[in-house]
Amino acid sequence: MCGIVSYVGEKQARPILVGGLKQLEYRGYDSAGIAVQNGPKISCQRSVGKIIELEKKISSLDMDGTMGIAHTRWATHGEASEHNAHPHTDQEQRVFIVHNGIIENYAFLKKKLQKEGCRFYSETDTEVLAHLVGIQFDGDLAEAVRKTMSQVEGTFGIAVIHRDVPGEIVVARRGSPLVIGLSDEGHFAASDVSAMVRYTNQVIHLQDNELATLRKDDFLISTARAEPIQRSIETVEWHAEDAELNGFPHFMLKEIYEQPETVMNAMRGRLELGEGVPKLGGITPVWEELKKCRHLVIVACGTSYYAGSVGRYVFEKLTDIDVEVEVASEFRYRKLNFPPNTFIIALSQSGETADTLAAIREAKRKGARLLGIVNVVGSSISRETEAGIYNHAGPEIGVASTKIFTSQLTILILLALLLGRHQNLSLTEGAETIRALQKLPEQIRKILSQANHIEAIAEKYHTCRNWLFLGRKFNYPIAMEGALKLKEVSYIHAEGYAAGEMKHGPIALITPEMPTVAILPKDDMYEKMISNIQEIKSRRGPVIAITTEGNKEIGEVADEVIEIPPTLDFLNPILAVVPCQLLAYYCANLLNRDIDKPRNLAKSVTVE
Ligand code: AGP
């Protein structure tokens, strides 16, 4: 978790660093800090809380300087306090360092350093890095960082400055993301391009065990053995405005409203109506083997896992492939047998989720082939998989994932359709699916036009402390995703259940104070869902039904009705999730929650 940003150039560093931190705040937001260097002088400030607290604290201070480093924290070692906030420093206060990741052998290193006379001021793992760099510095900062890297185990993205080396920042990574930004006005390094996209779209993704020395006019990338590396420069696709609210009160709402566009982007240039087949250029390198695949395992976490769970039903409908979906953090504990040509699909918005990365590394060890469906270009998962498909959905800033979920569903459907068309799926079925996919953006717009109606429902039920979400088949994962969204942003307790499971336990909870969101489009599960609703109504539980438009009889059993346009059964989840997102958003808003940065969460979960 955590976000780091650094800059060296001709502009004042403070506003660049604070602006960068604001863009990275989604990565963690319990404390923050900044160090600005001006010749041999380094001014360092830290504060508890969001970036705005740091900004207030430093607003009247003299922090002139054209280089510096900054950090926003999601606590792992030690509570969120000023003394645990980064930058951390060595004994002599000559080295200043910001770190994203976890130093696994820090306890051992700390004891050793304490025996050598180092005094520690924080409970963090990061502080050992500062001491190690300080002790090993003999005029060459990159070399001191290199020596430090060889002693630590774990993950890091770091930026380091030293009083004796004005004009130079050394950055390094192992396991945590780090991007270098190049511009005529200086050089940047950050956990994510969003921190620098206002100044440059020319970036280089640093790879594991690499370092870079950044100066105003030049930069040098090298290996841990000090061998220089040439790396090509990439152009970032998105712009600073993509990471702005543009009139919306919250990123979550903005991103919900972006879905007609992001679902379209997931399909753009990928649909071939005449052939009834999608084109997915990103999987070309593995296509020959993928065509023969009979066993697929989808690994993911959180919302991405629920997208994968819908994906399983879709693959089973459109292909003859056996599909498993695994929560990435549990994947390593399973004794899975991979028949030849087993493919793993890692689904991840950030491409940096530690559990998902660990799962694909384990799968690779066991001989599986790796595909990624990832939003962040150049992220670790995109680099560690053999081939993959990008969402092209632009940055998702709200911690609660919304637009990426529908984008992931769209891509999974395209992939299933592609494989299905090379198996038994007919041209007619292929073309029918493509036609239905093309209608989705407009259909999502239609759902969004009911926002006031959904807000009114939220108004009525947002004080209920417990909610239930029910669905079957394609929409069972939507029930789980709907419950997750509500929990994350409103802190209301919610459970997502397979509707058929309700009678095996959760029905005991039903009271007039516990609303149930029932997801029942007019498909082959509809009648069974109606029976479940009747069971709830007999116990006086309020029901909010999400159903296909034109369904007249639903009003007789449900208290509230939200309509979604008609589509193919396996496309319903893309539509049905939108009202769930809006319900969660409006409940959270009415409860005055911190919607884009809910308590205890972080956007990019880079710890296991
Ligand atoms: C979604 O709303 C969550 N905040 C979270 O569950 C997220 O989906 C999960 O951490 C996985 O992230 P990823 O897609 O970046 O791998």
Q: Give 120-150 as a 3 state SS string.
A: CCCCCCHHHHHHHHHHHCCCCHHHHHHHHHH
Read off the tokens for 458. Answer: 């939220």
213 lines ligand 1 (CB under 6 A): no
Count of C-beta atoms within a 10 Å radius of residue 465: 10
Read off the tokens for 400. Answer: 């609660």
pTM for the complete prediction? 0.83
**What residue owns the CA closest to ligand 1's atom 6?**
302
**pLDDT reported for residue 406:** 98
Burial classification of residue 215, based on how many CB atoms lie within 10 Å of its CB (0-12 exposed, 13-18 middle, 19 or more buried):
middle
Planar angle of CA 21, 22, 26, nearest 5 degrees: 95
488 lines ligand 1 (CB under 6 A): yes
Q: How far is ligand 1, taken at its centre, from the CA of residue 121, in Å?
A: 33
pLDDT tens digit string along 361-395?
A: 999 998 899 999 999 888 889 989 999 999 999 88
**pLDDT reported for residue 538:** 93
348 lines ligand 1 (CB under 6 A): yes
Q: Respond yes or no on whether the N-terminal peptide bond of residue 506 is cis (omega within 30° of 0).
A: no
Read off the tokens for 266. Answer: 């997931």
Under-50 pLDDT residues of the chain: none
**pLDDT reported for residue 246:** 83
Nearest residue to 444 (alpha-carbon basis) of 473, 403, 400, 411 = 403
602 lines ligand 1 (CB under 6 A): no
Burial 306-324 (b: 16+ CB within 10 A, else e): bbbbbbbbbbebbbebebb
Closest ligand 1 atom to 400 CA:
2
pLDDT tens digit string along 408-458?
A: 999 999 999 999 999 999 999 999 999 999 999 999 999 999 999 999 999
**What residue owns the CA closest to ligand 1's atom 7?**
302
301 lines ligand 1 (CB under 6 A): yes
Query: What does the DSSP 8-state code read for residue 154?
Result: B
394: left (phi over 0), alpha (psi -120 to 50) or beta: left
Nearest residue to 263 (alpha-carbon basis) of 567, 568, 574 = 574
**pLDDT reported for residue 213:** 98
Give CA–CA dist 200/184, Å, rounded.
9
Q: Is 603 annotated in the active site?
A: yes
Burial classification of residue 436, based on how many CB atoms lie within 10 Å of its CB (0-12 exposed, 13-18 middle, 19 or more buried):
middle
**pLDDT reported for residue 604:** 77
Burial classification of residue 119, based on how many CB atoms lie within 10 Å of its CB (0-12 exposed, 13-18 middle, 19 or more buried):
exposed
Instruction: Give the pairing type, strands 560-564 and 543-548.
Output: parallel
CA-based diameter of the chain, in Å? 79
**pLDDT reported for residue 82:** 92
Give CA–CA dist 414/434, Å, rounded.
9
**pLDDT reported for residue 243:** 77
**pLDDT reported for residue 336:** 77
Read off the tokens for 239. Answer: 């712009």
Q: Are residues 196 and 20 in contact, defined by beta-carbon separation less than 8 angstroms?
A: yes
**pLDDT reported for residue 94:** 97
Q: Within 422-462, where are the H helices?
A: 427-448, 451-461
Give CA–CA dist 243/240, Å, rounded.
6
**pLDDT reported for residue 96:** 98
Residue 399: which residues within 8 A CB-CB, separation 6 or more? 26, 488, 596, 597, 598, 601, 602, 603
**257, containing H or E segment:** helix 251-257
Q: How far is ligand 1, taken at its centre, from the CA of residue 408, in Å?
A: 12
**229, containing H or E segment:** strand 228-229
Q: Respond yes or no on whether the N-terminal peptide bond of residue 477 is cis (omega within 30° of 0).
A: no
Q: Are residues 437 and 571 in contact, defined by beta-carbon separation less than 8 angstroms?
A: yes
Per DSSP, the three-state class of 234 is strand
Domains and CATH numbers, the chain: 3-242 (3.60.20.10), 247-444 (3.40.50.10490), 450-594 (3.40.50.10490)
**pLDDT reported for residue 471:** 98
